[in-house]
Amino acid sequence: MKMPRALPILCAAAAILIGVGWAAPCFAQDANSNPMSFPDSKQVLGLEGLKHNATGTLSVESGSLVFTNGQKKAAVPASSITEVLTGKDTERTIGGTVGTLTMFAPYGSGRFLSLFRTKIDTLAIVYLDSAGAVHGAVFTLREGNALGAKKALLSQGAKTSVPVEVEAEAQAKQKAKKQQ
């Protein structure tokens, strides 16, 4: 028996809302920032027309998130992205029993991946298609690139409920602890 296509998407949206709460989205200020490219990225799941675990280049350009895998290309307009989360966002905001359960949600993000892999960053997005349906996608990037990708998406018009400044402060504190 096949699972309806909307069920995993709804589970992902619920997991994200439970994990980060109903905080007001933060909007980006600069919509004209330079394009950024993140080679050797992996689209774990979620983009139409691409196989799961496809390796390619993730880029943020001309107001869109673009993933290129060989000749195949998938683009998501940044203005349709309603949530951008990194693995660090979910580590900080999800806790307790609910957090333990939500970290295994299909698009619920990088905590599950980080149990098995190190030296990578995760980036999860929730977006609306042209018909208004909710979709999600999860990417892995080289370590240290998720925050840059998140900032680039926000500068192009994406939204998030976890401000970048809070995440940057948390990373700075973590680096300071490692140096001590």
Concatenate the DSSP letters of all residues of 81-117 into one string: EEEEEEHHHHHHH--HHHHHHHTTSSSS-HHHHHTT-
- Binned at pLDDT 50, 70 and 90, residue 97 comes out as very low
Please check whether residue 164 lies inside any domain of the structure: yes
Low-confidence winner among 70-74, 83-87, 175-179 (lowest mean pLDDT): 175-179
Please count the structural domains in the chain: 1
- What's the CA gap between 129 and 143, in Å, rounded? 29
Determine the angle formed by the axes of helices 164-179 and 146-155, rounding to 10 degrees.
160
State the CATH number of the domain containing residue 170: 2.30.29.30
Mean pLDDT of the chain: 74
C-alpha–C-alpha distance, residues 154 and 109, integer Å: 18
At 12, the pLDDT band (50, 70, 90 cuts) reads low
Whether residue 78 is contained in a domain is answered as: yes
Confidence bin at 4 (pLDDT 50/70/90): low
pLDDT tens for each residue of 105-118: 445 444 444 444 56
Residue 109 lies in a domain: yes
Q: Is residue 1 part of a domain?
A: no
- By residue range, what is the domain housing residue 121? 6-179
Nearest to 158 by CA among 149, 145, 168, 171: 149
pLDDT tier for residue 87 given thresholds of 50, 70 and 90? confident
Flag whether the pTM goes above 0.85.
no
